[in-house]
Amino acid sequence: MLGVSGGIASYKTCSIARGLTEAGVEVDVVMTASAAQFVGPLTFEALTGRPVLQSLWEPGVSLDHVRWARDPDLVLVAPATANLIARAAQGLADDFLTTMLLARTADVLIAPAMNDDMFAQSTTHENLTRLRRRGWHVIGPAVGALAEGPSENPGRMEEPDHIISETKRLLASRSGKWTGRKMLVTAGATREQMDPVRVVTNRSSGLMGYELARAGYERGADVTLVTGPSSLPVPWGVGVKRVETTEEMLNAVAQKLPDTDLMIMAAAPADFRPTSPVESKRPRAGGLITIEFEPTPDILVSTRDVRKPSATVVGFALETTDGLDRAKKKLEDKDLDFIVLNFADEPDAGFESETNRVTLVSRSDVTELPNMLKSDVAEKILDAVESHRG
Ligand code: CTP
């Protein structure tokens, strides 16, 4: 159930309703009278494909609030205005939304949004503390521009994508399959220094690893992302460790690994590094240069002994020829539970693409998947891990 109270952030709740509906969540929207001043109920009806509830006094609905309150798996209120928070904290039940909040049995997640001065008031803090003490979950508010101009203080509603992630995580926590599991994901290319301004790297964007980290958080895992240089936004709720070289990635992984339950090596670490990077920039006028490279350590292989024996380990293989045979060999050599095979020479797949076509290889199965968004590939990989663990 998605409660909408009346603030300018209400218009952003449309994308929350849409995002959750697209993810397969059945969303029933309850709007306060002031929310309907900002966004028309028809908008939510069109986005969710379900009727919008507004008044306690609508014929056929008026006595139904208790049933409505018992039905949902989760109640999300976004935006939660200062007024809505105050009414809920007092236990008032003077419209459909507050009545439903008082009668509900499900968990509640609220996303406060208000002017920064209103948020700074001790009254608002006391009300929020009271709700937290009752077990309500609170996301935000964030710091950033408000309707009335820039602000450096909290007040603005947390980003819709972040609210969607947190909502999915709370819904997933009902089954508890991933709750408390520690997940480590590596992502992106590493880079090796040739001289103070030049590096050797590869074309990995990191997107696959970032999507895996997001998907893991949304299922309930505690996720750490070890990433090479990338400008992608870090997924909501995910802890990040930024590294530059393959050696640094190895050290970051080795440190986290002893208590990791699921490790996914989606990174494309640089496989070679110059044997002796020079300390000053090489002048071009010097003409032809020869640089000697040495292999970097293999992270999966060199951390084998610090893995938890019960950990599930997933590697990736990006191949051009003899893909399946090479992937199966890497599965054995690197002692993996799964290897995700993808092909470097296909259009709309692999590096620098939003989509990917992969084959999931386990000790017993080979599953070819069609080309799909990397966010969907991430879900398929985690589905496979989930059924592998049983
Ligand atoms: N990998 C790693 N450490 C490296 C290089 C790769 O742990 N220094 C991991 C990758 O993150 C991936 C898997 O090993 O999960 C396979 O990577 P890939 O580059 O396909 O294999 P390599 O072992 O480097 O073999 P090659 O490049 O010779 O095909």
| pLDDT tens-digit series, residues 111-160 | 999 999 999 999 999 999 999 999 999 999 999 999 888 999 999 999 99
Structural contact between residues 177 and 386, judged by C-beta atoms closer than 8 angstroms: yes
Picking from 129, 147, 148, 146, the residue whose alpha carbon sits closest to that of residue 138 is: 129
State the catalytic residue, choosing from 83, 153, 202, 371: 202
- Closest residue CA from atom 21 of ligand 1: 317
Q: Is the CB of 246 under 6 A from ligand 1?
A: yes
- Tell me the one-letter amino acid at 153: N
Q: How many whole angstroms from its chain centre is CA 85?
A: 27
pLDDT band at 313 (very low <50, low <70, confident <90, very high): very high
CA distance 31 to 307: 50
Residue 351 alpha carbon to ligand 1 centre in Å = 14
CA distance 363 to 203: 29
CA distance 98 to 53: 12
Can you tell me which atom of ligand 1 is nearest the CA of 339?
15
Mean residue pLDDT of the chain comes to 94
Residue 133 alpha carbon to ligand 1 centre in Å = 48
Can you tell me which atom of ligand 1 is nearest the CA of 326?
29
Mean pLDDT to the nearest integer, 186-191: 98
**Using one digit for the tens of pLDDT, what is the confidence trace for 327-372?**
999 999 999 999 999 988 787 777 778 999 999 999 999 999 999 9
Q: Among 145-154, 252-261, 371-380, which stretch is predicted with the lowest mean pLDDT?
A: 145-154
Alpha helices (H) along the chain: 13-22, 35-38, 41-48, 65-70, 82-90, 96-103, 116-120, 122-133, 160-172, 207-219, 246-256, 299-302, 323-333, 374-389
pLDDT at 67 (0 to 100): 66
- Closest residue CA from atom 17 of ligand 1: 317
Structural contact between residues 101 and 88, judged by C-beta atoms closer than 8 angstroms: yes
CA distance 20 to 18: 6
Q: How many whole angstroms from its chain centre is CA 185?
A: 12
Q: Is the CB of 3 under 6 A from ligand 1?
A: no
Mean pLDDT to the nearest integer, 101-106: 92
Burial class of residue 191, CB neighbours in 10 A (0-12, 13-18, 19+): buried
| DSSP-derived secondary structure letter, 203 | -
In the predicted structure, residue 281 carries a pLDDT above the cut 80: yes
Picking from 207, 204, 203, 197, the residue whose alpha carbon sits closest to that of residue 233 is: 207
CA distance 187 to 179: 22
CA distance 226 to 268: 12
- Closest residue CA from atom 27 of ligand 1: 271
CA distance 321 to 201: 22
Residue 104 alpha carbon to ligand 1 centre in Å = 51
Rounded to a whole number of angstroms, the CA Rg of the chain reads 25
- Please state, for a pLDDT cut of 70, what percent of the chain lies above it: 97
- Please state, for a pLDDT cut of 90, what percent of the chain lies above it: 85
Q: Is the CB of 190 under 6 A from ligand 1?
A: no
Mutational test site, ligand 1, from 265, 303, 332, max ligand atoms within 8 Å of CB: 265
Residue 297 alpha carbon to ligand 1 centre in Å = 10
Burial class of residue 381, CB neighbours in 10 A (0-12, 13-18, 19+): buried
pLDDT at 349 (0 to 100): 74
Mean pLDDT to the nearest integer, 175-204: 96
pLDDT at 65 (0 to 100): 59
Q: Is the CB of 338 under 6 A from ligand 1?
A: no
In the predicted structure, residue 55 carries a pLDDT above the cut 90: no
Mean pLDDT to the nearest integer, 289-314: 95
In the predicted structure, residue 64 carries a pLDDT above the cut 90: no
pLDDT at 183 (0 to 100): 98
In the predicted structure, residue 62 carries a pLDDT above the cut 70: no
pLDDT at 66 (0 to 100): 61
For CA atoms 246, 257, 169, 79, the dihedral sign is: negative
Q: Is the CB of 315 under 6 A from ligand 1?
A: yes
Q: How many CB atoms lie within 10 A of CB 44?
A: 28
**Which residue in this structure is represented by tokens 């590869």?**
202
**Using one digit for the tens of pLDDT, what is the confidence trace for 238-251?**
999 999 999 999 99
In the predicted structure, residue 32 carries a pLDDT above the cut 70: yes
- Closest residue CA from atom 24 of ligand 1: 271
Residue 202 falls in the annotated catalytic set:
yes
